[in-house]
Amino acid sequence: MKILMVYPMYPKTYWSFHYALKFISKKASFPPLGLLTIASMLPGHWEKKLVDMNVSELKDADILWADYVFISAMVIQRESARQVIDRCKALGVKTVAGGPLFTSSCEDYNDVDHILLNEGETTLPQFINDLKNGTTRHLYKPEGWADMEKTPCPSWNLIDMKKYASMNIQYSRGCPYNCDFCNITVLFGRNPRTKKASQLLSELDALYEAGWRGGVFFVDDNFIGNKKKLKDEILPALINWMEKKKYPFSFLTEASINLADDEELMQLMVKAGFDTVFIGIETPDENSLVECNKFQNKGRDLLGCVKKMQRHGLQVQGGFIVGFDNDNITTFEKMVKFIQESGIVTAMVGLLNAPKGTKLYKRLVGEGRLLHDMSGDNTGFTINFIPRMNFELLINGYKQIVNTIYSPKHYYDRVITFLKEYNPIMKGVKKIKLIDITAFFRSVVRLGIIGRERYYYWKLFFWSLFRRPRLFPLAISLSIYGFHFRKVFENK
């Protein structure tokens, strides 16, 4: 059996880092972890190839080679996924589809030969067994959640690591919280399921032995969903492994704001090699937090929490949303003020949208306010329901936020605010690579000489060089990120 796995193209969005990747000569931020894991679940004697369309072209010859084409995609990849399916049909090759896009919108893909809903660990074995017996069905929808302790290590041999800026692994699925607008609990449940420490270390060993050195993204939707296991088992094991290997990786992940309440947990994470966390802050407005059931953020000093994490050595990236029913004309200015004062450099601000299956989606359907499916673009100028606020006022207010926080003056001021607060614990000796030198000189030319941000670039350049020299490489990296963010919003 010959299996071709295809990962569709991402458009140029906030998290694609398309314009930043050019500085380091990389094709994509992360490899398709889901497909790489699925590959390890297939019978060992089957032939397997993977084409990530974000790093290489999908050719007709690739499709014709295969008995089946496996496709996995996020909602944002919908357009490219449709093109892949159409090409496969035209060439007479059968398709098998799974992942968030197809799980949430399976009714839109009746022309796919086999759709595997929910988690691959529960669905794929049924499909393989039916394939062997000649009894395959169009739709597979198993009950229950997967046992993460049985999830195999991804097949890293199927990709060229040199084409990616970072690698990624997964420790847990699910989140104990139930925010109205979030579909994580719909897809993965509220009870965090985790891998064993030995599993996690085996995956890190595999990355290490494959020659990877650099960033590793823990793609968990809430890494600290099970704090006790982290503190008692996982982080001590990670610390020991990283110390023995002399810190070959740096980790980033996603977590909830209550991480700031636990100093021991923050200290352990930093010691284990974590230096960045993405936090869903959403809004500084208490009424809107109540509205969306974001109770873990309510009644706390959000600004103080961010500063506390930064002082402990964690760069905080933040997710923000406008468009709640309780938002008003003052919301936009308040959000800009919070983002600037917090020093959250990577501040992703998006319009509220309702994913299928969420409590928000069901409420809006009941109120007759839902318009269409969401696009999947976290920072697009679209909203899939009728907002309480005047639509034009909301869109203009949103544009005001992003145009302000990503203007050179505000962005570079925020970088300096962050660098003043940030207190990283430097572990190991980071070797300067040719790719780092190349990125530096490209930044000097593109940002410091011909860019409209050149005044602010040089201001940050010399400020960090003389005031925080240890953080000078980070300052240059953040300058490059800022260029990407501005280009994304300019081209919308």
Q: What is the DSSP string of 225-257?
A: SSHHHIIIIIHHHHHHHHHHTT--EEEEEEE-G
Choose the final residue of a domain: 416, 442, 471: 416
The whole-angstrom separation of Cα 222 and Cα 220 is: 5
Choose the final residue of a domain: 101, 122, 140: 140
* Pair (133, 231) in one structural domain: no
* Pair (456, 397) in one structural domain: no
Confidence (pLDDT) at 492: 75
Confidence (pLDDT) at 427: 66
Give me the helices (H) in 22-92, please. Answer: 33-41, 60-65, 78-91
191-232 tens-digit pLDDT: 999 999 999 999 999 999 999 999 999 999 999 999 999 999
The whole-angstrom separation of Cα 392 and Cα 398 is: 10
* Pair (411, 439) in one structural domain: no
Confidence (pLDDT) at 143: 87
Confidence (pLDDT) at 430: 67
Higher pLDDT, 149 or 427: 149
* Pair (367, 443) in one structural domain: no
Q: What is the mean pLDDT of residues 247-266?
A: 97
- CA dihedral (258, 261, 264, 268) positive or negative: positive
* Pair (278, 215) in one structural domain: yes
Beta-bridge mates of residue 96: 70, 114
* Pair (90, 181) in one structural domain: no
Q: Considering the domain boundaries, does residue 145 fall inside one?
A: no
* Pair (333, 265) in one structural domain: yes
CA distances to 43, 97, 397 from 121, in Å: 13, 14, 44
Q: Considering the domain boundaries, does residue 426 fall inside one?
A: no
* Residue 455 pLDDT > 60: yes
Orientation angle between helical segments 472-490 and 434-443, nearest 10 degrees: 60
153-181 tens-digit pLDDT: 999 999 999 999 999 999 999 999 999 99
Q: Structure pTM?
A: 0.95
Per-residue confidence band for 376, with pLDDT thresholds at 50, 70 and 90: confident
Exposure string for 270-297, b = 16+ CB within 10 A, e = fewer: bbbbbbbbbbbbbbbbeebbebbbbebb
Choose the final residue of a domain: 140, 155, 183: 140
Phi, psi of 487, rounded to the nearest 5 degrees? -65, -40
Q: Considering the domain boundaries, does residue 156 fall inside one?
A: no
- Domain residues for 197? 166-416
* Residue 429 pLDDT > 60: no
* Pair (25, 124) in one structural domain: yes
The whole-angstrom separation of Cα 361 and Cα 358 is: 5
Which CATH number belongs to the domain containing residue 105 in this structure?
Answer: 3.40.50.280
* Pair (481, 372) in one structural domain: no
Q: Considering the domain boundaries, does residue 224 fall inside one?
A: yes
Q: 199, 147, 194: which is closest to 172 by C-alpha?
A: 194
Please state the domain count of the chain.
3
Exposure string for 121-145, b = 16+ CB within 10 A, e = fewer: bbbbeebbeebeeeebeeebebeeb
Is residue 68 helix, strand or coil?
Answer: strand
* Residue 133 pLDDT > 60: yes
* Residue 487 pLDDT > 80: yes
Q: Considering the domain boundaries, does residue 481 fall inside one?
A: yes
* Pair (411, 446) in one structural domain: no
Q: Considering the domain boundaries, does residue 262 fall inside one?
A: yes
The whole-angstrom separation of Cα 384 and Cα 375 is: 8
Q: Considering the domain boundaries, does residue 58 fall inside one?
A: yes
* Residue 236 pLDDT > 60: yes
* Pair (389, 465) in one structural domain: no
Higher pLDDT, 376 or 62: 62
* Pair (88, 226) in one structural domain: no
Confidence (pLDDT) at 428: 59
Cβ contact 340:413 at 8 Å? yes
Which CATH number belongs to the domain containing residue 290 in this structure?
Answer: 3.20.20.70
Q: Considering the domain boundaries, does residue 425 fall inside one?
A: no
Cβ contact 290:282 at 8 Å? no
